[in-house]
Every structure is written in C-alpha cells, then in structure tokens.
Amino acid sequence: MSMSGAGPSQPANIENSSGIMLIDPHNPHAPPEEPHNITEQEVGEYREQDRYLPVRIHQAPLRILPLSTPWSVQIANVARIMKAAIPENAKIAKDAKECLQECVSELISFITSEAAEKCFMEKRKTIGGEDILYAMTSLGFDDYEATLKIYLAKLRQHQAAAAQGVHPPDEDHHSHDDEESTRQVERPPLRPAMNTSRAFPKVLRPLSLAQCRRMATQAPGPSGVGFALSEEQAGIQDLARKFTRENIVPVAAQYDRSMQYPWPIIKKAHGVGLLNTHIPEEYGGPGLGLVECALISEGGPAVEIVIVFSFINSPELAYGCTGIQTAIEANGLAQAPLIVAASEEIKKKYLGRMTEAPLVAAYGVTEPGAGSDVANISTKAVKKGDKWILNGTKMWITNAGHANWFFVLARTDSSQPASRGMTGFVVDADSPGISLGKKEINMGQRCSDTRMVTFEDVEVPEENVIGAPGEGFKIAMKAFDITRPLVASAAVGLAQRALEEATQYAQTRKTMGVPIIQHQAVAFMLADMAIQTEAARALVWKAAWSKDAGHRNTLYASMAKTLASRTAVENANLAVQVFGGAGFNTEYPVEKLFRDSKIFELYEGTSQIQRLIISRTLSSLYPGA
C-alpha cells in the first residue's frame, strides 16, 4: 500500500533498566530523551501534550511505547505532511484537522487503555511493531490512514491546480480571505513523492500468503476487510480437516445406517482437542473464539484464493457427517449458558470435568408444547430450603441418552413474563428423578441421540442456579447468539459437500457424448450452489466475528442461520438432481445429505423464527417517521 510524501526511516529508541522507551512523535528523527523513571504527573503531561503514548505493561514502572511502530510512523508522517499542506484549502483543512485530531485521540486512547494493557500483559514480552499493527488494524485505524491519504491527495491536487491558475475539480472555491490568510502562513515545501517500497516498513506493502496467515481473521486488511487466517486458525482447520477425512468420512454411512451413537469418534475428538472448543483456558479448554469454532464446524474448499488476503477453508466436521458434528457440537450449546453466566465454582466443576474426560452434556429447553415459543415452557422449579425442586418434560434433547449433565430452563415465577420468570439450572444426569425416553428415529442425522427427558421432583442445589433467579430466559437467548453461527457454519459445511459431490459427478457422468457439466442446465445449477455457499459462508463469518469482537450479533446470527440453512437444503436438493436416479440411491452420499439438511431449518430456532427476529430488529434499526 503506497502513500504520497516523504517517509522517515525507523527512528531510534532506547530502553533503560526500568523498561521505559521514549521518543518524540512530532520529531521522530530527533535523538531520544535521556531515559528516566516516569511519574504519574508526567504521564498526564505527556498525554495532554500529545508527545508520548504511555501504557502500563507491568505494575511498575510505566513503559512508554515509541512511535517507531509501523502504524505510528505512518500516521506521524502523514500528520507532518498534512500540517504543511493544510492551508492550501480551507474546506479540506477543516475536515483533515478533525480527522487527524480524532485519529490521534483514538490512538492515545487505545495505547493507554486497559484492553491494550491486558493484551500486552498476556504476551509477556517487549511489544514489537507488528503487534501494534495488528491490534490497531483490528480497531479500524486503516480507515484513518485511508482518509488522510485522500485528504492529502486532494491537497496536492489543489496545490498543482493553483500553480496553474485553475481550480481543481469537485472542490469548493475558498474565499479571497482564505487565500490571503493562506499566503500569510509560512510552511515548508512539500517533499517529492517517495519510493514507498523503501520508506515504509515492509508490513505496509502488499501482504504475502504467509503474512496473511499470521493475521487474525478479525483484523481488517488495507481495505478495512479481512478474511485471512492466523497460523493458529490455519492449524485448527488443518487438524479438523485431517480428523474428518481420516475418522468421519469413511464411517459416516455406516453410522447413519446403524444409528449408533458415535462414541469412538467423540473420544478421538476429545483426544485431539476438538470436543470442547468453547471452554475457556482457565477451565482446561482451548478457549477458541467463534471464528475458530466455525472453522471446525464448517466444511469448505481445500483450495487457496488470494485477492487482498487469502481466504482459506478446509473440509471439517460437518463436511464429513452433520450427525456426528451435531453430537460433538451439542456440547457447546449446553456449555454456552455456563460460560455466559455461571459462577466460578460451577464453571470449574462442570466445564473442568469435560476437559479431563470425553464427556458430553445436553441443552434442555425445548418441550412438547414449547419449541419456537420458548416463553410457553411449562417445566417448573420451586424453591424449598436450600434446594430447588424440578418437575417437567423436555423433548428433542440432543445427547440426552449420554449426557453427564443438563442445562435446564424452568419457570420459577409464574406471575412474571418469560424474560423475568425463568431460571437456568445445571443438573447432574444421574440425579434421582430423571428418566429418559427412547432414542428417536429421525429423518436425518440418525447417529445423533435425541430423546425425551422427564424430571420428577429432581432436587437441584442452590449453587447450581445459572446466573440469578429470573434471568434464565435472557441467558438462554445469549447462548443462541454463540451457537447459531456454529449451526450455520455446519450448514455451510453440508452445502459445500453437496457442491463438491455434484461437481465431481457432473464431470464424470456423460449424456449425449459429453460430461453433463457441459450442459448449461446442469452447469447453472452448480453455479447457483457455489454462489449461495460463498454468500452463506461470508455471513457466518460476519456473525462469528461480530461476537468475537464484543459486539451484539443477534441480527447477524439469525441472518446467518437462515441463509446457511436454506443453502444447505437447496444445495442438497440440487445435488440429488444432478445425480439423477443415482442420487436417490444410498450408494451415493447425496441422499444422506438431502435427509441431513432439513434439520438446519428447524433446530435452534426455525427459519421462520429467525425471520421474525430479523424483522423486529430492522424495525428498531430503521424506525418510521
């Protein structure tokens, strides 16, 4: 990425025994000040004067990060050029100054924030330029850089036009008074355009594939958008892809026919770290974000596409069998409420045990009379002494027959609406009073275990309440914000598998002397499948990224689930159509994909419920007059 103007070489910096580095951002080439211990008063002065960027790396002393990092050098250089050129046009000057001031303010706020402190503390090392670069780009500082470049280009254009006695196009003419005031301002001449390949750090040039992989998915690229994977994320994909190819694909049809619960595969998944990806590190889990979990759930192409950043997806769990994937990922749905709201003791007890042994849990919300209408739940919990007595029936509970514990949502106050009258509990599966129904024989995902669960006077300790009494409904909904993108990613995995199977078959099956892929009717079906798969994948990533970035993602989660579910069903249907009569036969995998796909439009909120959530959110986003 190039920029006009002269660029400074990397300014020197020094570090004294107390770990303080100093440099003047307004004069990066000047010799650094003598190192000394920084007082709190001086920190305030530095902030006020906009001279230094202090951050507390350790309890004491303070470390002053130098502006010799790639982004800081970039911004400081543009700032100097802007200050020299700003008098050229009053209107541009005003906008540029505001942008520059906001940029500097945001920069200081970031470097001195608790979030940055925590980030740097975790690294436990001297922060390098690339660390700052990645952190700042994730907060959108490339937008500032791009905006400043535009302003600078406009100013240069105006200067060149003024030298020729004409006004530049698309710019407001400034007044004679502005021109007079401009003439009175002494400014140094603008430097000639620089050779950007040498003047700026190499991380600001077009990125290689290896560099792309080092950047987190949520970190935007030069355009403000990024689909790159970090090395860790790429490694997770490779692990899940290999696991799926070796352990799931060869036996998927067998498990579908036998309808046996895939315990051997679940145990292997636990052994390689793919079973409890949601659990934070402090409770023994890997602590992966939603983006990483979505990479595990999804199945994607095994090719690399490099545009600005590389966008890489590999076949994962759902690509091999969504029934097995559901058995594995249902753990995440049960764990989510605990991660969101449980006490530390409960997290350590119930999440910790799942990392120590291959255990599964179940999410008990749906009832015979309360599916999409969660507010109609009739299971009740009554407080008696230091315990709660639980009575009711849950239906279509995944992993119920093998669960070590349940998350159960029950009504605790009938006088209150659902949002304040329900409470979440974690209930040990071996508690007296719990009885299981038969394993349901479903249309698809047949190796997944779904059953009815009945609770009769089941005693639940007070400490097993998740959150506070009355907060259960909100907690359950927050859990869906975490898990719906993962369900959507699994749907994308199935859609990708259907696309690949259909495309490969269309190249080998011949009619009228040519492969059927050469017939436009078939080719267009494949094209539509590819378009919808990529669109769904992008929306899934947006929903996962939004949650990982700390934003509320309810809207995007519902959008992603709706589109991905529909894409899975349509792709599976089209795959059968491409296969023709062979697609109706169990010898080929597409009939299983067709059966497995339908559940995505039903569980964790039907597509109609998702559209209701979306439409209500739109009403609040765009209120009428």
For residues 188 and 84, the answer to whether their CB atoms sit within 8 Å is: yes
Report the phi/psi class of residue 146: left, alpha or beta, with left for phi > 0 and alpha for psi in -120 to 50: alpha
Q: Report which of 56, 72, 93 is spatially closest to residue 187, judged by C-alpha positions.
A: 93
For every residue of 218-239, DSSP letters joined together read: TS--TTS------HHHHHHHHH
456 among known catalytic residues: no
Alpha carbon distances (Å) from 63 to 16, 530, 587 = 10, 51, 66
Residue with the two structure tokens 């927050």 = 478
Residue among 88, 500, 591, 604 flagged as catalytic: 604
Alpha carbon distances (Å) from 112 to 14, 33, 54, 416 = 20, 21, 6, 44
List alpha helices for 342-413, DSSP H.
344-346, 352-356
Alpha carbon distances (Å) from 269 to 240, 401, 549 = 9, 19, 27
Beta strands in 475-525 (DSSP E): 510-511, 514-515
Beta-carbon count within 10 A of 254 CB: 11
Q: Return the exposure string of 495-511: e unless at least 16 CB atoms fall within 10 Å of the residue's CB, then b.
A: bbbbbbbbbebbeeeee
Give the separation between CA 530 and CA 536, rounded to whole angstroms.
10
Rg (C-alpha) for the chain, rounded Å, is 29
Beta-carbon count within 10 A of 371 CB: 17
Any idea which residues carry the catalytic annotation?
604
